[in-house]
Structure 1
Amino acid sequence: MEMKGVMGGFYRISEWIMRLAVINLLWIICSIPFAFLVLTAFLSTGVEGVDVTQSFFSWIFLAILASPFTLFPATTAMFGVARKWVMGDVDVPLFKTYFRNYKENYLQSMIGGILYALLFAIMIVDYRVYMNNPSLQIVSYIFIGLMLLLSISVFNFFSMVVHYHMKTFQLLKNAILITIGRPFRSFSTAIVSGFVFYISFTKFTFLIPFFMGSIIAYFAFWNFYLVYQKVQDQMEAKKRQAEEEADLVDNELEKGTKK
């Protein structure tokens, strides 16, 4: 029997806390190698006697190389669960749904992760090359913008992997196109995600192991799903319009035949 009133509200809140926490923990466990490298990168900045910038970027570079095999499949699985929640199926079995998405989308996530890792690695190298050249430093800011755009498109990529059956290159291309074509949704996802990251690492660190990733995944897929529904509505409207125009043509032809 469903609980109502105040107790029912507390029960539903506790259920959502449990869902978000479980999925976030699974995400972190499956991303441990990547998380270790990123943590090492930040810890290396406090080591004396080493080139801080060189050390930091070296560890981040290693983290990027490891991300296709750890972070991307784990995050895709988390988005797969978030997809179920956003679409109204909130009572799905968490472990089963997470690892089913992990298994089913691992290869495509890994390939997509490799492509993203290559793009990020190239941009980081180019950024550092231009940044170290005083006469071309302004060009380095272009690469910062491109990396920001690419970072935002990752959210759409994860959403599309779990929502569409497409080839990986097509998913990557469409993720970038949606990011550019729907700037409000894309940047709102980036802003909210950045805010969650910020408060997780600076104010409420307990969010990192329990809620950070799952909250971001839920909001990112919710934003993506709004775009998807709008596109579907536009396609349906065009289809109805085409059918109405076809009916008008048929009616005109019938009138002409009767004459």
Structure 2
Amino acid sequence: MNNASRVIYNILEWITKFAYLHILWIFFTIAGGVLFGFFPSTTAMFAIIRDWLRGNTDIPLFKTYWKFFKRDFLKSNGLGIFITAIAGIIGIDLYYIQNHINDVLTWTYIPLFAFILVFTIFIFYLFPAFVHYDLPVFKVMKNAFLIMLINPLNSFLILLCLGLLFMVMRTLPALAFIFGGSTYAFITMWLCLHAFNKVQGKQNK
């Protein structure tokens, strides 16, 4: 196999892996009844991406995904309760503001949207931190929040890359259907690993 053929083969292999991982994410989310399957399926996807980024590219996907899904089922759903509760509060606040607009309440948009932005960035760090650190849920959330605070440039890069990804997926919806979840996980896990390693390097010094 010449160099060109090898490159094409590697590209096709990774396209297949990303598509398969996205399918596993959807399958296990549905298998868990969506409500209880979404968070363990998402953390399993991030765990697979983390292994790939750390050089473990030949792991059996289905078997490894199932292992992570089972291992973190309860813990990830505990994380899901927190995320769902905060998202629910945000939704209630938005509904209340939209249905009670007056001169007194319009100022509440600014702090609410600022909180939504911070919470969204926090979520980008939360799933990578969950699979990277073997800690209780509360400590995982604490680590994710602190690392987010001390890495504003990294947070900006995450927003930029995901914004570009969103525009590409919006232009080509078929790509979102085939690769959306796995591509999102790869981008955020890759950038967050950089932040985690930087923090670890400072701690080692």
Structure 1 residue 22 corresponds to structure 2 residue 51:
no
Shift of 1:187: 2.6
Work out the number of aligned pairs and report it.
Answer: 203
The residue aligned with 1:191 is: 160
Between 79-88 and 208-217, the greater mean CA deviation after superposition: 208-217
Secondary structure of 1:162's partner?
A: helix
Distance in 1 of aligned mates of 2:145 and 2:122: 5
Task: Work out whether residues 105 and 162 of structure 1, in 8 Å CA contact, stay in contact via their aligned partners in 2.
Answer: no
Flag structure 1 segments of 5+ consecutive residues without an equivalent.
35-65, 238-259
Deviations 1:50-81 (A, max 9, x none): xxxxxxxxxxxxxxxx9762322111111011
Task: Work out whether residues 147 and 196 of structure 2, in 8 Å CA contact, stay in contact via their aligned partners in 1.
Answer: no
- TM-score in terms of structure 2 length: 0.90
The residue aligned with 1:75 is: 42
Which structure has the bigger radius of gyration? 1
The residue aligned with 1:204 is: 172
Higher relative contact order (CA closer than 8 Å, sequence separation 6+): 2
Residue 167 and residue 73 in structure 1: after superposition, are their counterparts in 2 closer, same or farther (change >3 A)?
same
Task: Work out whether residues 82 and 218 of structure 1, in 8 Å CA contact, stay in contact via their aligned partners in 2.
Answer: yes
Distance in 1 of aligned mates of 2:17 and 2:202: 34
Deviations 1:13-49 (A, max 9, x none): 0110011000011112233499xxxxxxxxxxxxxxx
Q: 2:118 aligns with which of 149, 154, 178?
A: 149
Shift of 1:233: 1.4
Structure 1 residue 164 corresponds to structure 2 residue 133:
yes
Distance in 2 of aligned mates of 1:196 and 1:70: 25
Distance in 1 of aligned mates of 2:204 and 2:179: 37
Distance in 2 of aligned mates of 1:100 and 1:77: 8
Task: Work out whether residues 68 and 114 of structure 1, in 8 Å CA contact, stay in contact via their aligned partners in 2.
Answer: no
Distance in 1 of aligned mates of 2:127 and 2:2: 36
Distance in 1 of aligned mates of 2:146 and 2:35: 21
The residue aligned with 2:142 is: 173
Shift of 1:158: 0.9
- TM-score in terms of structure 1 length: 0.72
Identity of aligned residues (%): 32
